[in-house]
């Protein structure tokens, strides 16, 4: 399993712009082979922070996802609103 968290600190006032397009990106991503989960959250401690949590069958499934036009378009759109982006690969502790 390949799982990670993406945290986006948005420029002030731009979070709604990203959230307006996130559901379409979510639906397209969830339909991809190998996608086990793709969810996004707003941070209750910071109104300008979004958190995306993705789980993929394996790294190859995520690599396929990154090549898709809808993925590339969504990334290109939201990059203009970043103050900071953090990508963390995670594993189940144990």
Average pLDDT of 41-50?
Answer: 94
Q: Model pTM greater than 0.85?
A: yes
* Across 51-69, average pLDDT: 96
**Binning pLDDT at 50, 70 and 90, where does residue 55 land?**
very high
Q: Count the domains in the chain.
A: 1
Q: What CATH number is associated with residue 68?
A: 3.30.70.100
Q: What pLDDT does residue 93 have?
A: 74
- Domain of residue 50 covers 2-90
3-state secondary structure 5-53: EEEEEECCCCHHHHHHHHHHHHHHHHCCCCEEEEEEEECCCCCCEEEEE
């Amino acid at each position: 399993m390949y799982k990670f968290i993406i945290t986006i600190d948005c420029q002030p006032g731009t979070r709604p712009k990203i959230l307006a397009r996130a559901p379409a990106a979510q639906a397209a991503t969830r339909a991809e082979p190998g996608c086990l989960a793709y969810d996004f959250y707003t941070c209750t401690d910071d109104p300008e922070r979004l958190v995306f949590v993705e789980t993929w069958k394996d790294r190859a499934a995520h690599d396929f996802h990154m090549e898709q036009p809808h993925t590339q378009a969504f990334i290109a759109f939201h990059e203009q609103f970043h103050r900071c982006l953090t990508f963390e690969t995670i594993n189940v502790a144990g």
